[in-house]
Amino acid sequence: MATSASASLSKAVKQQYMALPQGDKVQAMYIWIDGTGEGLRCKTRTLDFEPKCIEDLPEWNFDGSSTYQSEGSNSDMYLIPAAMFRDPFRKDPNKLVLCEVLKYNRKPAETNLRITCKKVMEMVEDQHPWFGMEQEYTILGTDGHPFGWPSNGFPGPQGPYYCGVGADKAYGRDIVEAHYRACLYAGVQICGTNAEVMPAQWEFQVGPCEGINMGDHLWVARFILHRVCEDFGVVASFDPKPIPGNWNGAGCHTNFSTKEMREDGGLKAIEDSIEKLGKRHRYHIRAYDPKGGLDNARRLTGHHETSNIDEFSAGVANRGASIRIPRSVGQEKRGYFEDRRPSANCDPYGVTEALIRTCLLNEEGDEPADY
């Protein structure tokens, strides 16, 4: 199994240093989304006090020419703290700080989708939009081969692995457990986890989160997963179809509701939203992966529990549809619906913003409105 060289370094030796007191100083790790729209970067600074709120944190900067975000002749980019969490790696009082990225002229970077998402969420805050996102991922060795798979072949066909138990069914559970506990410590709204249909594929769920918190919490959960995998010497992949052929892809199913949908008779509001989504399928496909739909084209084939990328569909308890209404929601006539189209490497800010624009702001057509 190909694992990283760093994983073989003695963690016991490292622990000697991590146990040293740090005085009254605090380490703040600033995290941001790079120019790919899916990669994460981070760096750390020392603070003389423990920040209690986001306003306590100073702005910072970085070299955007090394993150696919600017050219070398004008490379300084600004990091604007947006959300703060406890640091599960360095522990209290240290912090993880999720940041927005601004260009040299203080305008948002191309992959800073948070800024418009926040504006759109503020327009509908009286409707209390809740989201829950189901993040699927695949554990790979450093050679890109799925963790635990035979080096020159394939494991047995899909069937026994989903929610599986046992060494021949669950590949890499240590990573899942470590990530879960680290998220709970950090204050991420993680609400569950399970093994997925393809061996070495797993899922964690984040939510319910209201408004902009959905994107913040999912991005930090992804960062924590990457860091946990780094410690174990393996790689977490959010590729929507990591292994071609008769193997499930990876999505990020997004559950959505408003106050009206959650109240008695809310099924009508759910059905109205689904009707609006059906008229705007192409816009949503473009918003649901970082390559404007090209990544999802490998996954949304109509097979392996997916809908066809070119067709919109909806149904109760139907995992082959674009939109699934859970059976309990159909029976109780209120609750939420699940959009199964977003890819595993989607930007949650873009996905949640698109749902609000179509379902609550009643936008139509292939382009978002400018407010």
Q: For residue 152, what pLDDT is reported? A: 87
CATH of the domain at 152: 3.30.590.10
Q: For residue 355, what pLDDT is reported? A: 98
- Supply 260's token pair: 């009206």
Q: Does residue 116 fall inside a structural domain?
A: no
Q: For residue 115, what pLDDT is reported? A: 98
Instruction: Say whether both 191 and 295 belong to one domain.
Output: yes
Q: Does residue 188 fall inside a structural domain?
A: yes
Residue with structure tokens 């209404």? Answer: 325
Q: For residue 63, what pLDDT is reported? A: 95
Q: For residue 74, what pLDDT is reported? A: 84
Sheet with 40-47: list strands edge to edge. 40-47, 26-33, 95-102, 76-86, 60-63
Instruction: Say whether both 289 and 258 belong to one domain.
Output: yes
Residue 199 identity (one-letter amino acid): P
Task: Give the DSSP per-residue string, 327-371.
Answer: HHHHHHT-S-EEE---BTT--HHHHHHHHHHHHTS---SSS----
CB 87 within 8 A of CB 183: no
Instruction: Say whether both 147 and 35 belong to one domain.
Output: no
- Supply 49's token pair: 């006090």
Last residue of a domain, one of 110, 139, 166: 110
Q: Does residue 141 fall inside a structural domain?
A: yes
Task: Give the DSSP per-residue string, 47-99.
Answer: ESS---SGGGSPPEEEEGGGTTSS-GGG-EEEEEEEEEEE-TTT-TT-EEEEE
CATH of the domain at 38: 3.10.20.70
Instruction: Say whether both 177 and 289 belong to one domain.
Output: yes
Instruction: Say whether both 251 and 349 belong to one domain.
Output: yes
Condensed to tens digits (0 to 9), the pLDDT of residues 201-245 reads 999 999 999 999 999 999 999 999 999 999 999 999 999 999 999
Q: Does residue 28 fall inside a structural domain?
A: yes
Instruction: Say whether both 254 and 216 belong to one domain.
Output: yes
Q: Does residue 367 fall inside a structural domain?
A: no
Across the chain, which has 371 residues, the per-10-residue mean pLDDT values are: 93 96 98 98 98 98 95 90 98 98 96 98 98 98 96 93 97 98 98 98 98 98 98 98 96 98 97 97 97 96 94 92 96 97 98 98 96 91
Q: For residue 72, what pLDDT is reported? A: 77
Residue with structure tokens 């799925």? Answer: 146
Instruction: Say whether both 61 and 140 belong to one domain.
Output: no
Query: Rounded to 5 degrees, what are φ and ψ at 293?
Result: 110, -15
Instruction: Say whether both 101 and 193 belong to one domain.
Output: no
314 CB-near residues (< 8 Å, 6+ apart)? 274, 277, 278, 321, 322, 323, 324, 325, 337
Last residue of a domain, one of 85, 110, 135: 110
Domain, as residue range, for 75: 7-110
C-alpha 172/C-alpha 318 separation (Å) is 29
Last residue of a domain, one of 61, 90, 110: 110
Instruction: Say whether both 307 and 239 belong to one domain.
Output: yes
CB 225 within 8 A of CB 144: no
Pairing mode, strands 201-210 and 130-140: antiparallel
Q: Does residue 167 fall inside a structural domain?
A: yes
Q: Does residue 296 fall inside a structural domain?
A: yes
Instruction: Say whether both 314 and 264 belong to one domain.
Output: yes
What's the domain count of the chain? 2
Residue 348 identity (one-letter amino acid): P
